[in-house]
Amino acid sequence: MSDFPVEKYIDLENNPYLMGRITIHHVKDEFHAEVDIIHRESHKIFKHVDIIYRQYTSEEALILGVQRLRLFLEKIEAEQAINDRSGNDGLH
C-alpha cells in the first residue's frame, strides 16, 4: 500500500480565505509535486501554480514546490505593488 499522494498545506500571510497546497505524487522511481492555491474551507483549487516533475526524493519535490509557490506569490505581490503605485486597480 502506498502512502502517496501526500498533501502539505501552507498558510498564506494576509489571506484568511486561501492557503497553499503541495501535493507529492510517487510515480515509478520519481516524485512529482503539484502546486496549487486552494480555498481554505472547501479545498477547491483557486489557482493552479505549477507541476514539478522528476525529483529523486519526496523531500526534493516538496522543497521545490514550496519555492515555486513562494516565487509565484512574490510575483503577484510585485505586480500588485506596481498597480497600486500607478493607480491601476487591475480590473481594466
pLDDT in tens, 39-66: 999 999 999 999 999 999 999 999 999 9
- Residue 92 inside a domain? The answer is no
Residue 90's pLDDT is 53
The pLDDT-based confidence of 89 (bands split at 50, 70, 90) is low
Residue 9's pLDDT is 98
Q: Which long-range CB contacts under 8 A does 66-69 form with residues at least 24 apart? A: 66/10, 66/20, 66/22, 68/33, 68/35, 69/10, 69/20, 69/22, 69/35, 69/37
- Residue 11 inside a domain? The answer is yes
Q: Number of folded domains in the chain?
A: 1
Q: What mean pLDDT do residues 76-88 have? A: 82
Which range marks the domain in which residue 42 is found?
6-86
Residue 10's pLDDT is 97
- Alpha helices by DSSP H, listed for 1-91, are 58-86
Q: What mean pLDDT do residues 71-77 have? A: 93
- Residue 91 inside a domain? The answer is no
Q: Is the pTM of this model over 0.75?
A: yes
